[in-house]
């Protein structure tokens, strides 16, 4: 197991904020909208960190 921190979706290039106030977080790769961060949904579904996480170079 790696010592990397878990993925933080708002710093991922696939993350977006949806128009839906009930499900404000989205992931373009997995096509999901959620109350929780998409990486938390992926972790709860398969018990592993998100395999699609890519750091967005434009986010500080």
For the chain, what is the domain count? 1
Span 10-36, pLDDT tens digits: 999 999 999 999 999 999 999 999 999
Helix (H, G, I), strand (E, B) or coil at 25: strand
Domain that holds residue 25: 13-46
Helix (H, G, I), strand (E, B) or coil at 12: strand
Say which residues have a Cβ less than 8 Å from residue 13's Cβ, sequence separation at least 6: 54, 55, 56
Q: Distance between CA 13 and CA 59 in Å, rounded?
A: 9
Span 29-44, pLDDT tens digits: 999 999 999 999 999 9
- Determine the pLDDT at residue 5: 74
* 23, part of any domain: yes
In this predicted structure, the answer to whether residue 4 has a pLDDT above a threshold of 90 is no
* 20, part of any domain: yes
Tokens describing residue 10: 């708002």
Instruction: Give, rounded to a whole angstrom, the gap between the first and last alpha carbons of the chain.
Output: 27
How many CA atoms, within 13 angstroms, populate the side-chain half-sphere of residue 57? 0
* 28, part of any domain: yes
């Amino acid at each position: 197991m790696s010592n990397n921190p878990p993925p933080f979706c708002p710093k991922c290039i696939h993350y977006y904020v949806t128009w839906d106030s009930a499900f404000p977080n989205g992931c373009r790769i997995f096509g999901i909208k959620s109350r929780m961060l998409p990486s938390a949904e992926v972790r709860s579904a398969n018990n592993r960190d998100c395999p699609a996480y890519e750091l967005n170079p434009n986010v500080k």
